[in-house]
Structure 1
Amino acid sequence: MPAEPTSCDPSLSGIEAVSGAVLAMSRHLEVREVLRRITAEARTLLGAEYAALGVPDDHGGFAQFVVDGVTDEQWKAIGPLPRQHGVLAAMLHRLTPTRLDDVRRAPDFEGWPDAHPDMSDFLGMPIVDGTEILGAVFLANKAGGFTAHDEELLRILAAHAAIALGNARLYERSRELTLAGERARIAHDLHDAVSQKLFSLRLTAKAAATLVDRDPARARAELAEVARLAAEAADELRAVVIELRPAALDEDGLVATLASQAQVLDRAHTAEVRFSSDGVRTLPPGQEAAVLRVAQEALHNALRHSGAKLVEVTLTGTADRGARLRVHDDGRGFDPETVRREGRHLGLVSMRDRAAAVGGTLSLESAPGQGTAIELEVPGA
């Protein structure tokens, strides 16, 4: 059976090759990886020997600069990143492409570093969002030189690259905001839970000290309370450390990571925490991260606010190769409508956002005196 054609198959037409390159770029979310894919796909698409992509900063240099066709050893030998000067500077300040038979004869050419490979024919294309130049992709050394058709193909690729790069930046910004929100929540927990426990512990210890001589029996009772408050404060601190500890999803997988966290939380809290799983297949990284974070948020709510004696976490596979997470506690429960009206979200907004980001759905069941259940379902690959 013949192999399925790829973007580097010379038998493909230009539009099919561009389509393959666009699909390859769109599979990635991290900005650095998107830049690397754009550069590699541009070089493959046009058959160039070298390719580079630069994203300018505001200080005459490059915030990011990636290359393709140059080995790591060659790149290290070349030295520091280039500055925005000569041909590169011109490319970053106009919206039109640059196609040269020999870049070395360009009026603004300023030479290469000693270890830089020699380049002749050159094609540069800005990556533009509206009137903003996000960066520029540069290609060099194609057998027979670059043509007007090459320029048009690269123009199409650059237009899609702007979308892919914009999406990647939005994704990273969203991730930064999520992390900032989680840090704020943890700081709030430390203040509300641990700080109050430590304040009570300090007052109780002072009371015990004043009672030692005149009422030893009451002093012993106060010291017992000191021990209890210290144990609770230690539990709260351990729980915060667990949430700050990076999860080993890449190394251990979702099931093992959830099982490990449940075990640690079971030891750190008076409530019993159980975990079970059945028929779970490996999920895409984004889905696994969403499931883990929702589980952590639901566990946080159950262990800190519900007064539960038992929290059960179950993870099961679904028919579409996805997964269903359920976190159920036997705590005091609440009226979801009342919580919504009073603006106390209990992390539900962030959990729903995580579910929606990976095409999943999140549901909540709770009532006063009947515990709470959070259920998340995510699709497979």
Structure 2
Amino acid sequence: MNKPQLALAKGEKTVMSEEVGMQEMVTLKTIAETLNTSNDLNLMLDTVVGKLLELTGLTAGWMFLINERGDYACVSDYNLPPALLRKDKEPMRTGTCWCVNRFRDGRLNHAVNIINCKRLEDAVEFQWGDTHDITHHATVPLRSGDKMLGLLNVAAPAKEHFSDSELALLQGVAYQIGSAMDRMRLYRAEQQRADLYAKLGEFSTALGLAVNECSNSDAFSVKVVQLLGQHYDWPFAAIIQQKNGMFVLQAVYADNKVRTLSSALVSSEAANHMNRVIHSHRATSLSAIEVAEILSLYEPDQTMNSIASGMVVSLPYHTPGETGVLVIGIGTGTAGPVQADLEMLEALAEHIAAAWESLKLAENRRELARLEERNRLARDLHDSVNQILFSLSLTAKGAESMLTASEQAHPAAEAMKDIRTLSQEALKEMRALIMQLRPAGLEAGLLHALQEYGTSQGLQVVMNRTGMRSLPRNIEEALWRIGQEALNNIRKHADVPSAEVSLKLSEHEVVFTVADHGIGGAQRPKTSSGNSLGLSIMKERAESLGGRLEIVSSSRKGTTVTAVIPLPFESV
């Protein structure tokens, strides 16, 4: 070849190289523009695969996304041969191939030629249909930085080799696709975070309005899981409370229904997991097996089978002895919890704890209102009825003295004596009622107050105390009322001048006992409506605190009233 011909060939090669370079730049520019046209991942992938094939002259392409566990899914395809479209693209959804195996093993870091495509070989071997003479494809890993996302495969009939420049172009496109996918993932995560916090605001508002409807912790737990079911699309939500050192499954939302299971104890393995969550103060993700372990006592027909993963977070109650855990189940077909879900769950737990504190404050306000009303009633009775009864007693005594002063007793003298006796009894009852309405002396302690009260009723009260710890105000007042009623019954019916009061305190409960050695319930009036009402009120007071009241009575051993009340955990 002479020099002019050599120069002409070099010039043609330069022109061709420049044309190829321009084509590559146009391809990359077009792909970049296509990637920025949509925030819908599937639509974007379908569009970009079609555009890539159009610009490169290839005819078929498909894309696999592969997660950390190695599970793959064909998320986009373009112009697949009929052999790979059979049975709703079953060859693309099942089985394995060389490129996927290489990706799982970490040996696929750059664009490569694939000599044998197992899916196409199977199509020929098992006669699945026409393969359009496609036997080879190029495989390009999709990545964003160091994060591997999946594979891009492209092919054309009778094309058995891809040049280095073609592979370099495909690798550049794959980097663009991977970066766009990561951008969309971040966009979806932020969008999901915004949606979750919008739902959190609606949930918090509804919970704040519903707090006043709740009278105790059981009702509060039911309301919480009910509102979670209304505002979120979680198929399962449960609240577990710690009572006396044991974790109890208190309320459950599942199958669009709310159930209360306040007597269902979780397993020891689940309790250990709950303690770790409580001590960490952080939300954690759960596998389906861990959710099933935690909620092993709750076995709905279909709910547990539909849960793929879950989340759990402690409820940061500020009330001593109150500990709770919120468990969320995430359904199959839904992505597992990400950091945004866990952060939102922690915020959700804070809102629930704030509502719980509002409930306790409302209870305290109601209790203070009741105390104020009792004090007002006690003052009114003391200033009015008590003074009238005292005046009546003095008047009857004076009239009786006048009627008995003469030598011959007046017929009305005996009646006046009865009036004086009855007025003194009524005055004594009124003073006891005022004392019950206004429990003066509790500031010095429950036993001291009961001893003072017994003395005022003419009883010698022997006190006995075992154990040292503080009593919550509501429990102390309930025991005060139970002790008052028991001492009143002893004064009226036991026919003895003394009583024994004991208080046994342990870590988990208080045992309060009032006993006498009188004639016993067998000889006491049983038709008195006041007596039966008093006993029922004592039982109601004990049961309202989760405890029980036992009354044992015999004509030989007297009567023993025992109240057993569980105590909340007391931190040291």
Q: Scaled by the length of structure 2, what TM-score is found?
A: 0.33
Higher relative contact order (CA 8 A, sep 6+): 1
Which is higher, the Rg of structure 1 or of structure 2? 2
Q: Scaled by the length of structure 1, what TM-score is found?
A: 0.46
